Amino acid sequence: MGDAITSAQSNIQALRTQAQDLQLKASKAQEYIDQQQTRRDKLLAERDAYVKQNPSAAVLVTTSVAVEPSAAQEPSGCLFAAKSKTKSSTKTAAPPANAAAHPKLMQLNTQIADCDNLIGVWQKRLQEYTSMAEKLTNDANTLEQRGQTPPTNTQTPTTTTPSAVLRRTDIHAPPQNEVLDQGFTADAIHVRRSDQKITGNTIRDSILDTEYGKTHDLAQQAHRDAIQLIPADQFAAGELENLTISNNTIESTGKLQGIFGSDGVFRNLTIRDNVIATASDHKITLNGLVGTANHIENNRDASGQLLAVQLNPIRLGGNLATGNVWILSVSAADAQQYGYHPIITGADGVQHIHDARSTPQQRDRVNGDVNLTDFPLGEYKQQLRSMTIAELLAQDSTLDTAVNAWLVRIVGVLPGSPNIAARIEQTRAAYLAQREIAISALAAHSADLQNFFIQALAKWMAEQSK
């Protein structure tokens, strides 16, 4: 009976977690709706100004009409787009007689209609996410009201699929003084918000001894983490700060990494008094640790030896066919906020701190790495929120060729990715259709394309600052 109650409680928690995930998706959908409405208002104002200067073009204006969510069409190339089973019999209407004289206006008409449709698309998804979240929450409440105890003749399944991640701190409370020994396939804890504490926990990589762990050879997988730091917009120098990770014990006979942050900017971190006993080379590894108040002290292995701490530069855009882009130093204006300052280590000294934050990196032997110095990171983050693909293409005459070459290479980089053909098609479609939105908003249409332009903007700004 105890196992049955535990199973019911687990089901309730799983339902609530799924509901929270959908609520997050709903919030993101509302954000995309707001972005498209802002874009549409800007385009409408631009079109009004054009007609004011060219009165004869007024007859070409097509009215902006709200698209009902049920009638909205997923963009061509989008992974959500449905396949049409029949060919449309609708003929394309001939353009107005004087359309050729006003290509700018015709383009604005198309872009405004695209905004109207995308608003409908995201409103439909918002409705779906909200409805599903409400249903899951109601299901969880119903289970809870039933007292969580199944009938005595109910048999509880003895096997479950292990979770990829045990805890996400944007969904669950940061664990403190807990034993986390449930099986996980990827990471135990994802730290996704600032101002949090992960303290006093024991993390055991118990899945390695299970049939699942042995079948999938999880002991040898090198990119599993006990505690991973993942800021929002991680590939665009998203930030996490004011974190305390202390008095935790991490145990694994495999290559589980200890405390790891590969992408983003991390500031005001306290990592102390942890014991990390794993077979990984990465006990504590952080890319992008900045600022003057980072405290890393008294972290040891099972034998009591100080752990090596690896510090690397900020990385932008991940690594997808264009190589890595590293920031080795920032401009004088950014030095206080984003500079690589000494780490506070107390009585430990610094011999165990391998500080390579300003050391040129050569990781990608195929595409090469780009190492940037005196980089204006603060200005760059502002430009990400305002610069569009079209504006960057206008500034860099070689960029269009680079994008198309990258789209060819990316197939070789992601041969095992599910839906690779649709993913590439989605990226191509977004490149053609989404040139008037900010780079920071591209992820709604193609995360791959956004990462490419995160890097492209950084390279262009670095050239401009020379």
Starting at the edge strand found earlier in the chain, the sheet holding 202-204 runs 179-180, 202-204, 249-251, 275-277
Joined tokens for residue 83: 């396949």
What is the pLDDT averaged over residues 30-58?
86
What local confidence, expressed as pLDDT, does residue 316 receive? 93
What distances in angstroms separate CA 228 from CA 27, 166, 191, 411, one per listed residue?
24, 12, 6, 28
Task: Tell me which residue of 313, 272, 271, 270 sits closest to 289, measured CA to CA.
Answer: 313
Q: Please report where in the chains the tokens 């940061």 appear, as a residue.
A: 174
CB proximity list for 287: less than 8 A, separation 6 or greater: 261, 262, 263, 264, 311, 312, 313, 314, 315
What does the mean pLDDT of the chain come to? 84
130 vs 227 pLDDT, higher one: 227
| pTM greater than the 0.75 cutoff | no
Whether the predicted pLDDT of 418 surpasses 60: no
Dump pLDDT digits (tens) for 141-189: 776 666 544 444 444 444 456 888 999 999 889 999 999 999 999 999 9
Whether the predicted pLDDT of 76 surpasses 80: no
CA 455 to chain CA centroid, Å, is 15
104 vs 36 pLDDT, higher one: 104
pLDDT tier, 26 (very low <50, low <70, confident <90, very high otherwise): confident
What local confidence, expressed as pLDDT, does residue 146 receive? 62
Dump pLDDT digits (tens) for 270-319: 999 999 999 999 999 999 999 999 999 999 999 999 999 999 999 998 76
What local confidence, expressed as pLDDT, does residue 280 receive? 94
What is the domain partition of the chain in residue ranges?
2-73+101-145, 164-375, 376-466
What local confidence, expressed as pLDDT, does residue 17 receive? 73
Minimum mean pLDDT range among 35-39, 429-433, 439-443 = 35-39
The CA-CA-CA angle for residues 157, 22, 81, to 5°, reads 105
Task: Tell me which residue of 311, 297, 305 sits closest to 277, measured CA to CA.
Answer: 305
| Cα 199 from Cα 178, distance rounded (Å) | 9
Whether the predicted pLDDT of 14 surpasses 70: no
306 in Cβ contact with 299 (< 8 Å): yes
Whether the predicted pLDDT of 5 surpasses 60: no
Dump pLDDT digits (tens) for 322-353: 678 999 999 999 999 999 999 999 999 999 99
> What stretches of 76-209 adopt beta strand conformation (E)?
163-168, 179-180, 184-191, 196-199, 202-204
| Cα 291 from Cα 289, distance rounded (Å) | 7
What local confidence, expressed as pLDDT, does residue 171 receive? 87
What is the pLDDT averaged over residues 90-110?
75
343 in Cβ contact with 435 (< 8 Å): no
pLDDT more than 70, % of the chain: 82
The type of residue at 355 is D
Dump pLDDT digits (tens) for 189-235: 999 999 999 999 999 999 999 998 999 899 998 789 999 999 988 99
Task: Tell me which residue of 250, 311, 255, 312 sits closest to 281, measured CA to CA.
Answer: 255
Whether the predicted pLDDT of 256 surpasses 70: yes
Torsion of CA 67, 70, 76, 81, to 10 degrees: 160
| Cα 367 from Cα 324, distance rounded (Å) | 8
What local confidence, expressed as pLDDT, does residue 205 receive? 96
| Cα 227 from Cα 239, distance rounded (Å) | 16
| Cα 91 from Cα 11, distance rounded (Å) | 52
What local confidence, expressed as pLDDT, does residue 91 receive? 47
Whether the predicted pLDDT of 92 surpasses 70: no
398 in Cβ contact with 350 (< 8 Å): no
Joined tokens for residue 215: 């079948």
What distances in angstroms separate CA 395 from CA 43, 77, 407, 459, 464, one per listed residue?
21, 27, 21, 12, 10
Joined tokens for residue 435: 């040139």
Dump pLDDT digits (tens) for 351-395: 999 999 999 998 776 667 899 999 999 999 999 999 999 999 999
| Helices H / strands E in the chain, number of each | 9, 19
Task: Tell me which residue of 356, 378, 380, 381 sits closest to 369, measured CA to CA.
Answer: 356
